[in-house]
A and B are shown apart, each in its own frame.
Chain A
Amino acid sequence: MSRASPDKSPGRIGRRRALFARGEAELVPQARLSGPMPWVIAIMVALTAIALAAGLTLGNTVTAATAEIEGGVTVQIVEPRTDLREREVTRALAALKVLPGIQSIRLVPQEELDKLVAPWLGSVDEDPAAAAIPVPALIDVRLRRPTTRSQVAVVEEALLPVAPSARVDAQATWLRPVFDAIVSLQWLAIALVVLLAGALAAAVLLAARSALGTNRDTIEIVHLLGGTDTQIARVFQRSIGWDAAGGGAVGLALAMMVILGLGRRFSGLGAGMVSSGGLVWTDWLLLALVPLLATLLAMLTARLTVMHALRKML
Chain B
Amino acid sequence: MRQDDDQRLHGSELFFPHSLTAIARSAYLAHSVFEDELMSITAGDEIVHFDNVGLRYSTDREVLSDLSFTLFPGTFYFLTGASGAGKTSLLRLLYLAQRPSRGVIRMFGKDAITTPRSGLPAMRRRIGVVFQDFRLVPHLSAFDNVALPLRVAGFGEREIAGPVADILDWVGLADRRDARPATLSGGEQQRIAIARAVIGRPDVLVADEPTGNVDPEMAVKLLRLFELLNRQGTTVVVATHDVHLLKKVSNPLIMRLDRGRLSDPTGALRYPPRRVT
Give me the interface of A with B, judged by CB distance under 8 Å.
1, 3-4, 6, 9-13, 15-17, 19-20, 22-24, 26-27, 29, 217-218, 220-229, 231, 311, 314
Contacts of A17 in B (CB 8 A): 154
Inter-chain contact B149/A314, CB cutoff 8 Å: no
Bound complex: CA A228 to CA B125 (Å): 11
**Given known A-B contacts A4-B32, A10-B156, A29-B139, A311 and B117 have beta carbons under 8 A apart:** yes
- Which residue of B99, B118, B137 is within 8 Å of A228 (Cβ)? B118
Bound complex: CA A13 to CA B37 (Å): 11
Bound complex: CA A26 to CA B144 (Å): 9
Inter-chain contact B153/A226, CB cutoff 8 Å: yes
Task: Check if B43 is an interface residue, CB within 8 A of chain A.
Answer: no
Task: Check if B1 is an interface residue, CB within 8 A of chain A.
Answer: no
CB distance from A2 to the nearest CB of B (A): 10
In the complex, per-residue mask of B105-138: 1 if CB is within 8 Å of any chain A CB, else 0? 0000000000001101111110001000001010
CB distance from A8 to the nearest CB of B (A): 9
Most interface-central of A11, A29, A223, A314 (chain B CB within 10 A)? A11
Inter-chain contact A231/B152, CB cutoff 8 Å: yes
Bound complex: CA A26 to CA B145 (Å): 11
- Which residue of A1, A20, A26 is within 8 Å of B25 (Cβ)? A1
Bound complex: CA A270 to CA B35 (Å): 76
Bound complex: CA A218 to CA B144 (Å): 13
Contacts of B139 in A (CB 8 A): 29
Contacts of B135 in A (CB 8 A): 217, 221
**Given known A-B contacts A1-B162, A3-B29, A19 and B97 have beta carbons under 8 A apart:** no
Task: Check if B178 is an interface residue, CB within 8 A of chain A.
Answer: no
Task: Check if B33 is an interface residue, CB within 8 A of chain A.
Answer: yes
Contacts of A9 in B (CB 8 A): 32-36
Inter-chain contact A16/B153, CB cutoff 8 Å: yes
CB distance from B164 to the nearest CB of A (A): 12
Inter-chain contact B32/A225, CB cutoff 8 Å: no
Contacts of A20 in B (CB 8 A): 151-152, 154
- Which residue of A10, A13, A222, A226 is within 8 Å of B159 (Cβ)? A10
Q: Which range contains the number of B residues in contact with the other chain?
A: 35 or more
A232 nearest in chain B by CB position: B152
Contacts of A13 in B (CB 8 A): 154
Within 8 A of A (CB), among B165-209: 196
Inter-chain contact B155/A10, CB cutoff 8 Å: yes
Contacts of A225 in B (CB 8 A): 124-125, 148-149, 152, 196
Bound complex: CA A15 to CA B34 (Å): 14
Inter-chain contact B144/A314, CB cutoff 8 Å: no
B120 nearest in chain A by CB position: A314
Task: Check if B140 is an interface residue, CB within 8 A of chain A.
Answer: yes
**Given known A-B contacts A1-B162, A29-B139, A11 and B29 have beta carbons under 8 A apart:** no
A-B contact count (CB 8 A): 102
- Which residue of A1, A231, A314 is within 8 Å of B96 (Cβ)? A314
CB distance from B48 to the nearest CB of A (A): 16
Apart from the given pairs A9-B32, A26-B140, 17 other A-B contacts in the complex at a CB distance below 8 Å: A3-B29, A9-B36, A11-B33, A11-B154, A11-B155, A19-B156, A20-B152, A22-B151, A24-B151, A27-B137, A224-B97, A225-B124, A225-B148, A225-B152, A226-B123, A226-B149, A227-B152
Inter-chain contact A222/B148, CB cutoff 8 Å: yes
CB distance from A150 to the nearest CB of B (A): 69
Can you list 23 contacts pairing A with B, beta carbon distance less than 8 Å? Answer: A3-B29, A6-B32, A10-B155, A11-B37, A11-B154, A15-B154, A17-B154, A19-B151, A20-B151, A23-B144, A24-B151, A26-B144, A27-B137, A221-B135, A221-B137, A225-B196, A226-B123, A226-B125, A226-B149, A226-B152, A227-B121, A311-B117, A314-B98
Bound complex: CA A185 to CA B147 (Å): 57
Inter-chain contact A6/B35, CB cutoff 8 Å: yes
Task: Check if B16 is an interface residue, CB within 8 A of chain A.
Answer: no
Contacts of A224 in B (CB 8 A): 95-97, 124, 129
Bound complex: CA A23 to CA B123 (Å): 21
Contacts of A217 in B (CB 8 A): 135, 137
- Which residue of B97, B124, B154, B157 is within 8 Å of A16 (Cβ)? B154
A310 nearest in chain B by CB position: B117
A226 nearest in chain B by CB position: B125
CB distance from A11 to the nearest CB of B (A): 5
Task: Check if B28 is an interface residue, CB within 8 A of chain A.
Answer: yes
**Given known A-B contacts A26-B144, A225-B124, A4 and B156 have beta carbons under 8 A apart:** no
CB distance from A232 to the nearest CB of B (A): 10
Contacts of A314 in B (CB 8 A): 96-99, 117, 120
CB distance from A182 to the nearest CB of B (A): 53
Bound complex: CA A4 to CA B124 (Å): 23
Bound complex: CA A4 to CA B29 (Å): 7
Closest 4 CB pairs of A and B: A16-B154, A23-B151, A226-B125, A226-B124
Bound complex: CA A267 to CA B185 (Å): 69
Bound complex: CA A223 to CA B98 (Å): 12
Contacts of B32 in A (CB 8 A): 3-4, 6, 9
Contacts of A229 in B (CB 8 A): 117-118
